[in-house]
Every structure is written in structure tokens, then in C-alpha cells.
């Protein structure tokens, strides 16, 4: 992986054969992954993979912001997602980041069960519809929804194929409420 690239949580940046896991990363089965949204750099002196926060001056969420959020849990009538980045703001978020996406706010069409649309660890692009007393999210517009998802079986990235997402590693096919640019978004324009 090239350096100075913007990465998302869970994204592979290196391997434990090449480097040690440094700040902003974690190691899992010999793979070093980003733990935060940030810029991937190599600490050559200590041979460490490091993900630096985009900047240290934090930003407060506001209504109407378009954000990236990582799905934590999918319940019967809502999705809980952690807001990890505000699009267009190269800054960390301060304060509460625990967002709720109600089943009725997922899509313009009727959704009965959120688990047919989203899965834990998915990265979604969402609109903030409320900040207080709790952060509420919506993904009804076509540029909103999942921008990155991992295979439920083997955790490899899923690729868009027709109406479905497919795993190149194990062949598993999965459905998601994807954003229109799934797989082609540019993280360096975050």
C-alpha cells in the first residue's frame, strides 16, 4: 500500500511481516489494519505502520452534514453506527459520535428488516438529520448508503456486481443498500 493515503477503519495498511502495528492501527491474523480514519504513514525509524488523525482540531457535527459512519449493530428497527468522519472536513469529530439510523430512514422504499440492508462493520455515507438530544442519520438519497463492506463469511472486501455485492475470495454474494458510487469513491477527497 502506498503511503500518505487516506484510509478507513478496518482497511489493510500493511502486514506484520513488513512492519509493526503503531498508533492508529491494530493487528489481526498478521494483517495490520487502520483503527481510525486518517493518513497512512510509515515510521521508518521504528518500522511501524501508523495512521495519523486527519488533524488535531476537532469539528462538531451539525444537522445536514454528510458523514461516514461505521455500522456497529443492526437491530430489528434501527441501525447503530459510529460517525467517523464529516465529508469535507479534514478534522476529527469531537463529542458524541453514536448515531442512530431508524429503519424508516434507510431507503425511500419500504424496508422491513435493517439486516437486509446493512451489516456490522459496513462503512456508510449518511446525512445527519438531528444532532440533539441524539444523533439521527438517514440514507435515503442515492448517493447515501454503504460505500465499503466486508464479506460476512471471510471478511474480504465485497465488490459490486449487478444488484449484488460479491466476494472475490470465497464467492459469497450479499445484498446491501449501497451508495451509487460503491467501490469507486475516492478516499483522498474526504
Number of residues that bind Zn ion (CB under 5 A): 8
Partners of 95 in the beta sheet? none
Region binding Zn ion by CB under 5 A among candidate stretches 8-16, 136-144, 162-170, 179-187: 162-170
The CA distances from residue 61 to 1, 92, 93, 100, in Å, are 31, 10, 7, 14
Considering the rule CB under 5 A, would residue 172 count as an interface residue with Zn ion? yes
Considering the complex, what minimum distance in angstroms separates the CB of residue 7 from Zn ion?
Answer: 21
Sorted by sequence, the CB contacts under 8 Å of residue 77 that are 6+ apart come out as 102, 103, 114
Region binding Zn ion by CB under 5 A among candidate stretches 6-14, 72-80, 117-125, 152-160: 152-160
Q: Give the footprint of Zn ion on residues 23-62 (CB under 5 A).
A: none
Region binding Zn ion by CB under 5 A among candidate stretches 3-11, 47-55, 82-90, 144-152: 144-152
Partners of 173 in the beta sheet? 166
Considering the rule CB under 5 A, would residue 154 count as an interface residue with Zn ion? yes
Considering the rule CB under 5 A, would residue 153 count as an interface residue with Zn ion? yes
Sorted by sequence, the CB contacts under 8 Å of residue 1 that are 6+ apart come out as 12, 13, 14, 40
- How many of the other CB atoms lie within 10 Å of CB of 64? 9
The span from the CA of 75 to the CA of 61, in Å, is: 24
Considering the rule CB under 5 A, would residue 164 count as an interface residue with Zn ion? no
Nearer to Zn ion, 63 or 173 (CB): 173
Region binding Zn ion by CB under 5 A among candidate stretches 15-23, 85-93, 143-151, 173-181: 143-151
Considering the complex, what minimum distance in angstroms separates the CB of residue 155 from Zn ion?
Answer: 7
Q: Let me know: does 49 contact 88? Beta carbons within 8 Å.
A: no
The span from the CA of 59 to the CA of 55, in Å, is: 10
The span from the CA of 87 to the CA of 66, in Å, is: 6
Nearer to Zn ion, 15 or 172 (CB): 172
Nearer to Zn ion, 46 or 153 (CB): 153
Q: Give the footprint of Zn ion on residues 90-109 (CB under 5 A).
A: none
Residues that bind Zn ion (CB under 5 A): 151, 153-154, 156, 167, 169-170, 172
Amino acid at each position: 500500500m502506498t503511503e500518505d493515503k487516506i484510509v478507513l477503519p478496518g482497511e489493510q495498511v500493511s502486514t506484520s511481516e513488513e512492519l509493526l502495528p503503531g498508533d492508529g492501527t491494530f493487528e489481526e491474523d498478521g494483517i495490520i489494519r487502520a483503527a481510525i480514519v486518517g493518513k497512512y504513514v510509515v515510521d521508518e525509524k521504528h518500522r511501524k505502520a501508523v495512521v495519523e488523525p486527519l488533524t488535531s482540531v476537532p469539528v462538531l457535527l451539525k444537522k445536514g452534514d454528510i458523514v461516514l459512519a461505521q455500522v456497529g449493530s443492526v437491530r430489528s428497527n434501527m441501525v447503530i453506527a459510529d460517525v467517523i468522519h464529516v465529508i469535507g472536513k479534514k478534522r476529527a469529530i469531537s463529542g458524541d459520535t453514536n448515531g442512530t439510523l431508524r429503519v424508516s430512514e434507510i431507503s425511500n422504499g419500504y424496508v422491513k428488516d435493517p439486516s437486509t440492508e446493512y451489516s456490522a462493520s459496513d462503512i456508510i455515507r449518511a446525512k445527519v438529520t438531528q444532532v440533539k438530544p441524539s444523533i439521527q442519520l438517514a440514507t435515503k438519497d442515492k448517493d447515501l448508503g454503504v460505500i465499503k463492506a466486508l464479506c460476512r463469511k471471510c471478511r474480504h472486501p465485497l465488490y459490486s456486481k449487478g444488484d449484488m455485492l460479491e466476494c472475490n475470495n470465497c464467492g459469497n454474494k450479499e445484498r446491501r443498500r449501497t451508495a451509487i458510487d460503491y467501490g469507486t469513491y475516492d478516499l483522498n477527497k474526504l
